Structure 1
Amino acid sequence: MKLSEPQALNRIAAYCSKAERCEFDVRKKLLAWELSDDAVRRIIERLRKERFLSDERFSRSFINDKLKFNKWGRTKIIYELRKRNIPESVYLPLLEELSGDEFEKQLMHILSVKARSVKANTEYEKKTKLIRFALGRGFSMELAIKCVNKLLGGDYEDYSS
């Protein structure tokens, strides 16, 4: 679909006003509308100037949503932000604001729910499946082992030593 620059600006401003967006997503949408690189650059500058677009605001919202609603760990959140070309200088301070306790609470909650449905022949197999599940959600190996040990009793070695 080919749009003129003013039409694209109006549409993308409406798109940005509905939810927080990052520059990467906006740029992708504008390029899909077959706009020139100069037009895309001008539109993005204008959106930033008028505060429709902010990578920091997007990162804060993204981190909060993925932690609270999707129950993702630090690793998966960082991976997704990198995929969207958000600079580390933007999201690392936001992640540092979160205490490790928040990630631990989330992981304990999802592991306790998951533990009820895991089918395993041995306790070791159950712990392994739960740790793999936690890693898939983006939590660190150290935190996964710590939480599984808290939940089921600890005979796994501490990974950090």
Structure 2
Amino acid sequence: MAKLDPIIQRKIMRYCAYQERCIQEVEHKLHTLGCPPRQISAYLRYLSEEDFLKESRYAEVFVRGKVNNNKWGPRKIEMALLSKKVDPSLIKRELAQFDAEWVELEAYWTGRMTKAWAHKSYDAYTLKGKLRTFLRHKGFFV
């Protein structure tokens, strides 16, 4: 294994210890720290061996946070994780753990937005269209 720069190593370990990171974020950080491109895989291997970097743990935390805090739907979460180059099989596995909650969340947003738009004089057709658009933006299959 190539000799790793202890300064970069310490900084990247601190970066990964602060919160869960995906491989793409760590690679980007290594670039900004001035790590030579040929050594990036050595740093990633080291971080994985030392359990600082684990893609499955990142996917689990990301999905749980977006469902519980942001109330995102499955499609929006999936697209966000795919943009971070997380393995699709990990994404499917983590989203499957929340299968029972998607209907609940969709009902939550439908009720909340219907109440928010109640003071405006929308006809039923317009209100239904606004709800469908809103739910699609939140990541639900409508």
TM-score, normalised to structure 2's length? 0.90
Partner of 1:123: 124
Deviation at 1:116, TM superposition (A): 1.6
Counterparts of residues 28-107 of structure 1 (less than 5 Å)? 28-99=28-99, 101-107=100-106
AA in 2 matched with 1:21: R
Q: Which residue of 1 aligns with 2:17?
A: 17
Tell me the secondary structure at the aligned position of residue 70 of structure 2. coil
Secondary structure at 1:69 match in 2 = helix
Paired amino acid for 2:82: R
- Indicate how the Cα distance of structure 1 residues 97 and 121 shifts in structure 2: closer, same or farther if over 3 A, else same: closer
In the superposition, the TM-score normalised over structure 1's length comes to 0.80
- In the TM superposition, residue 25 of structure 1 has moved relative to its aligned partner by 0.4
Q: CA deviation at 1:102?
A: 0.2
2:119 pairs with 1:140: no
Flag structure 1 segments of 5+ consecutive residues without an equivalent.
142-161
Query: Which structure's relative contact order is higher, taking Cα pairs within 8 Å and 6+ residues apart?
Result: 2
Question: 1:58 Cα deviation (Å)?
Answer: 0.1
C-alpha RMSD of matched pairs (Å) = 1.4
Give the percent of matched residue pairs that are identical in Structure 1 and Structure 2.
Answer: 26
Q: CA deviation at 1:91?
A: 1.6
| Residues paired across the two proteins, number | 137
Displacement of 1:132 in angstroms is 0.6
Shift >6 Å, 4+ stretches: none
The letter of the residue matching 2:137 is G
